[in-house]
């Protein structure tokens, strides 16, 4: 199982990305395949990677969609991705 760290302020307060990096550093057993972090205006997210498939090794997290402003980080399996994508787009 990989690890996830996040700080989100619902007001406009800025987030210190180094705090998320420290959280990730505290779980080295969850990140033998590396870790990433990213920050936006009021959130910072991190992902400690424990890959079990080729797809997981090449995926980049946290994800950020600039057009919608959505941030996403997760250790999950998502079935029917294409169906969900279509549903979210309203097609």
Exposed/middle/buried for residue 91 (C-beta within 10 Å: 0-12, 13-18, 19+): exposed
Distance CA(6)–CA(30), nearest Å, equals: 15
User: pTM (2 decimals)?
Assistant: 0.75
Q: pLDDT tens, 46-82?
A: 999 988 888 888 888 898 888 888 888 888 777 888 8
């Amino acid at each position: 199982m990989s690890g996830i760290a996040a700080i989100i302020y619902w007001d406009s307060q800025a987030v210190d990305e180094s705090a998320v990096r420290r959280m990730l550093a505290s779980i080295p057993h969850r990140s033998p395949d590396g870790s990433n972090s990213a920050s936006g205006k009021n959130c910072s997210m991190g992902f400690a990677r424990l890959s079990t498939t080729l797809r997981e090794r090449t995926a980049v997290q946290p994800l950020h969609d600039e057009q919608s402003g959505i941030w996403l980080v997760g250790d999950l399996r998502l079935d029917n991705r294409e169906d969900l994508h279509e549903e979210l787009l309203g097609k």
